[in-house]
Homo-oligomer: A and B are copies of this chain.
Amino acid sequence: MKRVYNFNAGPSAMPLEVLEEVQQEFLDFKGTGMSVVEISHRSKAYQEMQDETIALMKKLLNIPEGYKIVFLQGGGSHQFLMVAMNFLKGKAGYINTGVWSKKAKEAAAFYGDVYDVATSAGDNFSFIPDMNEAGTFDIEPDTDYVYLTSNNTIHGTEWQTFPHFDVPLIADMSSDFLARPVDVAKFDLIYAGIQKNVGPAGAVVVIIKEELLEKANDALPPYLQYKTFVDKDSTYNTPPVFCIYFINKVLHWLDRNGGLEAMEAINRKKAKIVYDAIDRSEGFYKGHAREDSRSIMNVTFNLATPELEKEFAEAGTAQDLIGLKGHRSVGGCRASIYNAVPLAACEALAKFMDEFRVLHQD
Residues of A in contact with B (beta carbons under 8 Å apart):
1-4, 6, 8-14, 16, 19-20, 22-23, 26-28, 31-35, 37-43, 73-78, 80-81, 107, 110, 193, 195, 199-203, 220-221, 223-224, 236-243, 246, 320, 322-323, 328
Whether B42 pairs with A328 at a CB distance below 8 angstroms is yes
Whether A201 pairs with B107 at a CB distance below 8 angstroms is no
Can you offer 29 A-B residue contacts whose CB atoms are under 8 A?
A2-B28, A3-B27, A4-B33, A4-B34, A6-B34, A11-B241, A19-B26, A19-B35, A19-B37, A26-B26, A32-B322, A33-B320, A37-B201, A37-B246, A73-B74, A73-B78, A73-B240, A77-B223, A78-B223, A80-B223, A81-B223, A110-B221, A200-B240, A200-B242, A201-B238, A201-B239, A201-B241, A202-B202, A202-B203
Residue of B nearest to A201 (CB): B238
In the assembled complex, the Cα of A34 lies from the Cα of B41 at a distance in Å of: 29
**Known: A81-B221, A202-B203. Contact between A38 and B14, CB under 8 A?**
yes
How many copies, total? 2
Whether A26 pairs with B35 at a CB distance below 8 angstroms is no
In the assembled complex, the Cα of A237 lies from the Cα of B100 at a distance in Å of: 11
Chain B proximity of A260: nearest CB distance (Å)? 22
Q: Which residues of B contact A203 (CB under 8 A)?
A: 202
**Known: A33-B3, A237-B77, A238-B195. Contact between A40 and B9, CB under 8 A?**
yes
Residue of B nearest to A228 (CB): B77
Residue of B nearest to A3 (CB): B33
Chain B proximity of A348: nearest CB distance (Å)? 13
Whether B40 pairs with A14 at a CB distance below 8 angstroms is no
